[in-house]
Amino acid sequence: MTPLAGKNPTRKRSRQSQLLAAILVNSVYEMENYPVVLLNTILSPLSILLVIVLVSRGSLFGVGIMGGFIMAMFSAGMGLSSDLSHLKNDFKFQDMIVSSPTGWLTYMIGISLSEIVYAIPALIVLTVLAYFGLSLTLAKVLAFVAVLLLVFISSISIGYTLSTFSSDIVQSFAFTRLISTLFSTIPPVYYPITYIPLPFRYLAYLSPTTYAAELVQGIGGYLSLSLTTVIIDWTVLIAVTIALFVLAKTKARWREV
């Protein structure tokens, strides 16, 4: 066995330990000691779902469930901003990570996984509702999950980048709430885009979550989309995700200069 081959298992175990540490530090500790933090992750997507269902008298139940998934994943990713800002500014955690062998990508992935742990209660509730309220084949479920994954990667890229520039957690909270509102509440995530009058409908396409919502609503059979529209939606969503990730890699302030 060559020396290089001998190092690979150790390096892999080290990376796994770093990811586990990020989850323990950022989510398990708070969930264990402050269970009330879980309420927000559950209530945020479900409260809007409830309003939409009541106003539509149940006709938008399925659309609302899909919107709840999008909001839960986007909010989970944006939660990265305030959490990382807290760790960076209050505990100087990022400085310690920078001086260690851990790279920015491992750090970002680890904290991102911890945000998924936070979102598990909401995702479980939404999954139960989806079981009764949606009728999806395996292929459609996989497509739905792919859209949610792209939404999550986009949001964690935004959250990570903002956190490296934030000087205070209060500032991060403000940006997180503003962006979450602009991307997951105002756009047609919980209702079809056809509900928006045409002169204003084009403004909705400024948000990447509109393309995600349009795709999942088409997957669920709530929108009739042409092949051209489906291709455009996937192309825009993938392109935005890649662009935001590259932005996080190149423009985030990983080290203080």
CA angle 48, 52, 56 (to 5 degrees): 175
Burial of residue 30 (number of CB atoms within 10 Å: 0-12, 13-18, 19+): middle
pLDDT band at 208 (very low <50, low <70, confident <90, very high): very high
Question: Which whole number is the average pLDDT over 176-183?
Answer: 82
Q: Is residue 58 part of a domain?
A: yes
Q: Is residue 160 part of a domain?
A: yes
Q: Is residue 179 part of a domain?
A: yes
Question: Which whole number is the average pLDDT over 168-172?
Answer: 70
Question: Which whole number is the average pLDDT over 130-150?
Answer: 93
Burial of residue 212 (number of CB atoms within 10 Å: 0-12, 13-18, 19+): buried
pLDDT at 106 over 90: no
Backbone angles phi, psi at 39, to 5 degrees: -60, -40
Residues 6+ apart with CB under 8 A from 150: 212, 237, 238, 241
pLDDT at 210 over 50: yes
pTM of the model: 0.80
User: Average pLDDT of the chain?
Assistant: 80
Q: Which pLDDT value is given to residue 88? A: 65
More confident residue, 52 or 86: 52
More confident residue, 239 or 85: 239
Q: How far is CA 228 from the centre of its chain?
A: 26
Instruction: Name the domain count of the chain.
Output: 1
Q: Which domain holds residue 188?
A: 10-251
